[in-house]
Amino acid sequence: MAEYDLVVPVREGAANRQLRYALRSWAANLPHRRVWLVGYRPPWVSGVGHIPTRQTGTKYANTTVAVRAAIEHPGVTERFILCNDDFFVMEPQPAELPVYHRGPVRDVEAYYATRGNGAYLRGLRETRDLLVGLGYEDPLSYELHVPLPVEKAGMRHALDTGRHLDVLHKRTAYGVLAGIGGERMADVKVMDRRSARFGTNTRFLSTMPDSFTNGLVGQHIRRTFLQPCEYEGRGRR
């Protein structure tokens, strides 16, 4: 049996069909001990741990609260896999999940700078400046939509170091400060419902609500994971 738990921040009140299929993908392809939903637990989910949190801030602040709640919870394994509720693991993974990064933060910044100047990009720049100020001259970005292995102590240090930032890029701060290295990969998020460029043999996928519900990528994910898994109780499938 796998040694590591899966930790998944979940926003309040959503029907969250993506989570249903994410759970199916983890049950099939991602070795783990237990799943912990942090924040909201939909009524149809069963057989998971639940850590309730107050979700009174921005989505960035809420996920930070969720991650801190997980690292402070004694039931969560010291090393865990951090997932989002729209991460789909499409192929079987080893018990020791590899670490992936997105390349230098400067390259990721250049990409997002062409798409606007919102809170996410501000948080990227502030997190980069924080790390550069600590001596990491060209930090890597870990803001990928794939599962990330995390050590509690290292994530606690990252959250404490960046606690003054309202949009801390937690994965990046953790990965750089903990020196986890890893393999570079392109992000797997499929934004557009019309996109067919995701292929059918990729290791991981992630979606937007629209691309999951109405897009080719969502059709592919639902066809891949037709059968309910151990984490589904009552409710429509």
CATH number at residue 110: 3.90.550
Would residue 235 count as lying in a domain?
no
Would residue 150 count as lying in a domain?
yes
pTM (predicted TM-score) = 0.93
Per-residue pLDDT band for 233 (boundaries 50, 70, 90) equals confident
Three-state DSSP at 19 gives helix
For residues 50 and 53, what is the distance between their CA atoms, to the nearest angstrom? 10
Looking at every residue in the chain, the average pLDDT score rounds to 93
Report how many domains make up the chain: 1
DSSP 226: -
pLDDT at 237: 45
Q: What is the tens place of the pLDDT at every residue in 55-72?
A: 999 999 999 999 999 999
Expressed as residue numbers, the domain containing 121 is 5-224
Q: Provide the token pair at 198.
A: 């995701």
According to DSSP H, which parts of 43-104 are helical? 59-72
Q: What is the tens place of the pLDDT at every residue in 185-222?
A: 999 999 877 776 776 658 999 999 999 999 999 999 99
**CB 50, CB 35: distance < 8 Å:** no
**CB 141, CB 101: distance < 8 Å:** yes
Would residue 102 count as lying in a domain?
yes
